[in-house]
Amino acid sequence: MTFRRVVAATDFSDTSAAALRAAARWSRHLGVPLVVIHSYDPAPIGPSAASPIPAWPTDAGARAIERAAKSQLAALAEGLLADVEHTVEAVAHPNPALGVSDFAKSDDLIVVGTHGRTGLGRILMGSVAEQTLRHAPCAVLVVRGEVDPERFPTKVVACTDFSDAARPAIEAASWVAKAFDVTVTVLHAETTEKWQQATFTADDQELAKVRSDLESALAAEHAAFLPPPVRVEFIVADHHAHGIVDHAAEAGVDLIVMATHGRTGLARLVIGSVAERVTRHAPCPVLVARSVAPS
């Protein structure tokens, strides 16, 4: 897996500033340009109590908004990214998340922060990150919380369910391992219900063997993609996402790598819900690789 460029989205919040610093590190290690993008809704203005009918800015007004956005972007980038090759882009779009997604190409890496605001804006910022995950044509790195750009990532977990759809996560994790010289642990989470059904009559010795066989299968399947040694973990939890999030917190993981189909509607609820839940609740950044183009 290779990337043509890193596309870092910002809303000028502290959280997106942390995401920018992380994006700069990834850009340097990958050796590709960094593009800093701000997607904004250019219209309508209002409605308000004084003007109940929404109003759109004139062409001159729209150009002034774009110039102001680019100026703010340039000032932000100059302060945070002085040592990194970068360009800035201000994109007008009625949906900020779709503005970022439409700008990106299939071989880009989007970096976006989440929960960069408070109150209603905090919810909206979270939805921007999640909508970007659903609609982006490429991999998305969601940065949450404080990230040390000089260390991140150091402890990486790649999630798999043994399906072909999970393969992009392993490939992305392989790139991370090589680019940052870190070891990746392959993680498979099973639900408590399914585990109990499969092992209902097993004694402790048989359970231990089942776990050992699963871990061996994990290592063997992914040895061709990941640099040695291939570390594996098998966990059981009430829900796949809960198990992954809890494991990351307990093990001090600072990057979770997953894959999603990136579809919308019912297909997304079935296929992409685990990745979205993990991204929403993880204590660390999450890299979501794309299995197929979003629909």
Q: Is the pLDDT confidence value at 195 over 70? A: no
192-197 long-range contacts, CB within 8 A, separation 24+? 192/236, 192/237, 192/238, 195/236
pLDDT surpassing 90 at residue 157: yes
Closest C-alpha to 34, from 102, 96, 87: 87
Q: What is the pLDDT of residue 124?
A: 40
Side-chain half-sphere exposure of 271, counting CA atoms within 13 A:
21
Percent of the chain with pLDDT over 90: 24
* Nearest of 20, 16, 39 to residue 82 by alpha carbon: 20
User: Residue 118: what pLDDT?
Assistant: 40
pLDDT at 113 over 80: yes
CATH 1.20.1440.230 fits 5-143, yes or no: no
Beta strands in 136-244 (DSSP E): 139-143, 156-159, 184-191, 231-237
Q: Exposed, middle or buried, 205 (CB in 10 Å: 0-12/13-18/19+)?
A: exposed
pLDDT score of 266 more than 70? no
Question: What pLDDT does residue 250 have?
Answer: 94
What is the arithmetic mean of pLDDT over 128-149? Answer: 83
- Whole-number average pLDDT of the chain: 78
Omega within 30 of 0 (cis) for the link into 96:
no
Q: Per-residue pLDDT for 34 more than 60?
A: yes
Tens of pLDDT, residue by residue over 56-76, are 666 777 778 788 888 888 888
Q: Is 234 helix (H, G, I), strand (E, B) or coil?
A: strand
Per-residue pLDDT at 234 exceeds 70: yes
Position with higher pLDDT, 279 vs 78: 279
8 Å CB contact between 294 and 264: yes
Q: Where in the chain is the domain with CATH 3.40.50.620?
A: 5-143, 156-290
131's CB contacts (< 8 A; 6+ apart) are 95, 97, 98, 101
- Report pLDDT digits (tens) over 273-289: 788 888 888 899 999 99
Alpha carbon distance 141, 15 (integer Å): 13
Does the pLDDT value for residue 217 go beyond 90? no
**Residue 93, token pair as written in the block:** 């779009």
Q: Which of 171-175, 212-216, 217-221 has the highest mean pLDDT?
A: 171-175
**Phi, psi (5° rounding) for residue 211?**
-60, -45
C-alpha to C-alpha distance for 124 and 33, rounded to whole angstroms = 29
> What pTM, to 2 d.p., does this model score?
0.81
Per the omega criterion (within 30 degrees of 0), is the bond before 285 cis?
A: no
- CATH entry 3.40.50.620 includes domain 156-290: yes
Pairing of the two strands 139-143 and 286-290: antiparallel
Burial letters 115-142, b for 16+ CB under 10 A, else e: bbbeeeeeeebbebbbbbbbbbbbbbbb
- pLDDT score of 211: 66
Query: pLDDT value at position 27?
Result: 92
Give strand pairing partners of 5.
Answer: 108
Local confidence band at 203 (pLDDT 50, 70, 90 cut-offs): low
User: What pLDDT score does 196 carry?
Assistant: 65
